[in-house]
Amino acid sequence: MNREPGVAVRRVETRPFEGQKPGTSGLRKSVREFAEPHYLENFVQAIFNTLGGDARDALVLGGDGRYGNRDAIQRILRQAAANGFRRVIVGRGGILSTPAASCLIRKHGTDGGIILSASHNPGGPDGDFGVKFNGANGGPAPESVTAAIHAASGSLDHYLTCDAPDIDLDRDGCHDLCGMQVDVIDPVADYADLLEGLFDFDALREMLGSGRFRMRFDAMHAVTGPYAREILERRLEAPAGTVMNGEPLEDFGGGHPDPNLVHAHALVALMNGDDPPAFGAASDGDGDRNMVLGRGGYINPCDSLAVLTANAHLVPGYRSLAGVARSMPTSRAVDRVAAARNLPCYETPTGWKFFGNLLDDGRITLCGEESFGTGSSHVREKDGLWAVLFWLNIIAARQQPARAILREHWRQFGRDYFTRHDYEGVDSAGAEALMAGLRERLGSLPGQQFGEEVVTEADDFAYEDPVDGSVSRGQGIRLYFESGARVVFRLSGTGTAGATLRLYCERYERDPTLLELDTQRTLAPVLDAAAAIAGIEAHTGRTTPDVIT
**DSSP letter, residue 23:** B
Sheet containing strand 449-450, strands side by side: 449-450, 453-460, 477-481, 486-491, 499-509, 415-426, 547-548
User: Side-chain half-sphere of 347: how many Cα atoms within 13 Å?
Assistant: 15
| Residue 459: partners with Cβ closer than 8 Å, 6 or more residues away | 442, 477, 478
Number of H helices, E strands in the chain: 17, 27
Q: Is 119 a catalytic residue?
A: yes
3-state percent helix, strand, coil for the chain, nearest multiple of 5: 35, 25, 40
3-state SS class at 279: strand
CA-CA distance, 190 to 200, in Å (whole number)? 17
CA-CA distance, 41 to 75, in Å (whole number)? 8
CA distances from 19 to 55, 152, 154, 239, 495 (A): 26, 12, 9, 47, 13
C-beta of residue 425 within 8 angstroms of C-beta of residue 500: yes
- From 97, 102, 119, 377, the catalytic residue: 119
Backbone conformation region of residue 200, classed left if phi is above 0, alpha if psi is from -120 to 50, else beta: beta
Catalytic positions are 119
